[in-house]
Amino acid sequence: MNVKQKFMKQFKFYIPVVLAALFVSCSSDDKLVDKVDADVQRGAVLRTITFDPNSFFFDNTDSEVNYTWEYQDITDGDLLSSVDVTIGFIDGTPANGTTTATETALASFPASQFSLGEYGLPRVDYSLTYGEALAALGLAFDPAVVTGSDQFVMNITLNLTDGRTITAADLSGTVSGGSFFSSPLTYRIPIVCPPRAGAPGTWTIDMQDSYGDGWNGASVTVTIDGVGTDYLITGAQGDANTETFDVPAGASTLSIIYNSGDWDSEVTFQVTAPNGNTIIDVGPSPAVGAELIDYCADF
């Protein structure tokens, strides 16, 4: 991104601050900086360090998701009391009947279970299997009950020593979806079919950038039988780009992953299979580093 583009992105933010500063006397008892500092309440984040993979296989109760979380607050961790995890369920396949489940407690981590990570901040690891998620919600391991395209939703609550609690509803988009903080406090875990390549032929990726200056370092990696190719919008292309790739007959696996850039909130894209079905339609702020293909879909 060039200097002019960076300036324009920040223009709307800087102008109100400059105007406010012009009307506040340096001798005033109510200095602008003092007022902003007094009005801001600092909370905490639980940064996602790893989330691998991001889904369960519908036919394997041992399939597992693994997380590493890093806690941070203004005291670098002293406000941490505990972290609570709950799990809920979303039925995405009404064709096989409606399955409901009440959100329930899944795990709790007191501050004592965290250890210092490489940056001196508290970290904790957590693993969850498909079977454990089903058991927590009282759901049967039966494709007539839970199958591909259904989802689990895992919600996290941060409990601070000063009595405050922080949930996903308390976060701004910069904190929950930004590539630096990456602290959503809500994770969707789709139930998927085993990876496959799908129909051979020509696939299409339609990419958009809402600001019109390219993807600023972001890309989509398409991997066919272990060989990856990156697709993106360059700065010269501006607000859109369309690319195609071919899946050869006899291919075994196809994977599509989004790689974060500087302005993920501007990124959207769609992937269309040779049969004309749109199998991916994501953004703004697509999931980073996670498989985006629903292998149960018709492609």
pLDDT of residue 17: 44
Kindly give the parts of the chain with pLDDT less than 50.
Answer: 3-4, 6-29, 32-40
Q: What are the backbone dihedrals phi and psi of residue 249, each rounded to the nearest 5 degrees, phi first? A: -60, 135
pLDDT of residue 12: 45
pTM of structure: 0.59
What does the domain layout of the chain look like in residue ranges?
A: 44-192, 201-282
| Domain 44-192 in this protein, CATH class | mainly beta
Strand pairing class (240-247; 201-209): antiparallel
pLDDT of residue 296: 76
Q: Which CATH number fits domain 201-282: 3.40.50, 1.10.40, 1.20.1740, 2.60.40?
A: 2.60.40
d(CA 61, CA 59): 7
Q: How far apart, in Å, do the first and last CA atoms of the chain sit?
A: 36
Reference 209, options 245, 263, 173, 260; nearest CA is 263
pLDDT of residue 232: 98
Q: How many CB atoms lie within 10 A of CB 136?
A: 21
pLDDT of residue 60: 92
Question: Each residue of 217-241: pLDDT tens digit?
Answer: 999 999 999 999 999 999 999 999 9
| Distances from the Cα of 40 to the Cα of 33, 186, 282, angstroms | 11, 24, 33
